[in-house]
């Protein structure tokens, strides 16, 4: 059995540039934005996009995973830089920002495209442990209540981030801050 083929350095740079460009484009124009716009922002040709991501759904799923990973990996960094309660609050702010930039993702997830089937489980597998560690540390420090499971807190914040008529873009952050104040001991 042969070892998996390594990705060339230039191809890896292209993938990174594509993911960053797609993140920016999707945040402003939604996941249905033209692929040529993503390619132009990444400084590559459209063929390069399709070489790495043959279908739009492949690119959307890759961007989603990339962002989930970045948000989840911020948890231990924040825990090292801040006290437990503040680290928890800052991470929830990142989680709100993550959710707020997902224009069109809900529709994509419910589109029936098999490229999205594994994403909800991926979301749970990355975010639940990250939040659990932060929440456990804040509970151990006596800064937050001990009766709120991480899954419930993730779901509560996700629901606060659902679009609502007549509210501004900072609404979800304000509501999440209110929720965190309610967690405080």
Amino acid 96: pLDDT = 93
Whether residues 46 and 112 share a domain: the answer is no
Whether residues 76 and 162 share a domain: the answer is yes
Confidence tier at 1 by pLDDT (50, 70, 90): low
SS (H, E, C) 38-58: HHHHHCCCHHHHHHHCCCHHH
Domain range for 32 is: 8-54
Whether residues 124 and 178 share a domain: the answer is yes
12 occurs within a structural domain: yes
With vertex at residue 29, the alpha carbon angle to CA 58 and CA 16, rounded to the nearest 5 degrees, is 45
Q: Is the dihedral of CA 17, 19, 23, 29 positive or negative?
A: positive
**pLDDT tens digits along 98-125:** 887 776 666 777 788 888 889 889 999 9
CATH number at residue 39: 1.10.10
Q: What is the mean pLDDT of the chain?
A: 90
3 occurs within a structural domain: no
pLDDT of 77 over the 60 cut = yes
User: What DSSP character marks residue 5?
Assistant: P
pTM: 0.85
What is the average per-residue pLDDT within 16-32? 90
Amino acid 134: pLDDT = 98
135 occurs within a structural domain: yes
Whether residues 87 and 157 share a domain: the answer is yes
In 87-101, which positions are buried (b, 16+ CB within 10 angstroms) versus exposed (e)?
Answer: bbbbbbbbbbebbbe
Whether residues 68 and 27 share a domain: the answer is no
Whether residues 43 and 127 share a domain: the answer is no
Amino acid 5: pLDDT = 59
Q: Which of 11-20, 30-39, 52-61, 94-103 has the lowest mean pLDDT?
A: 94-103
CATH number at residue 103: 1.10.357.10
pLDDT of 58 over the 90 cut = yes
Closest CA to 159 of 144, 171, 148: 171
Cβ neighbors of 83 (< 8 A, separation 6 or more) are 141, 143
The dihedral formed by the CA atoms of 24, 28, 29 and 34, expressed in degrees to the nearest 10: -20
CB 43 within 8 A of CB 12: no
2 occurs within a structural domain: no
Domain count across the chain:
2
């Amino acid at each position: 059995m042969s070892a998996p083929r390594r990705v060339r350095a230039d191809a890896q740079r292209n993938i990174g540039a594509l993911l960053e460009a797609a993140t920016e484009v999707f945040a402003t124009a939604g996941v249905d934005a033209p692929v040529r716009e993503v390619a132009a922002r990444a400084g590559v040709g459209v063929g390069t996009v399709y070489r790495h991501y043959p279908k739009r759904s492949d690119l959307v799923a890759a961007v989603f995973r990339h962002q989930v990973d970045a948000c989840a990996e911020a948890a231990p960094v924040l825990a090292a830089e801040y006290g437990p309660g503040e680290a928890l609050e800052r991470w929830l702010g990142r989680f709100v920002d993550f959710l707020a930039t997902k224009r069109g993702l809900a529709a994509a997830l419910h589109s029936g495209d098999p490229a999205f089937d594994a994403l909800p489980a991926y979301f749970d597998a990355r975010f639940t442990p990250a939040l659990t560690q932060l929440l456990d540390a804040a509970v151990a420090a006596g800064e937050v209540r001990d009766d709120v499971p991480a899954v419930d807190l993730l779901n509560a914040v996700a629901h606060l981030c659902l679009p609502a008529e007549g509210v501004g873009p900072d609404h979800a952050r304000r509501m999440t801050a209110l929720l965190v104040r309610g967690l405080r001991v």
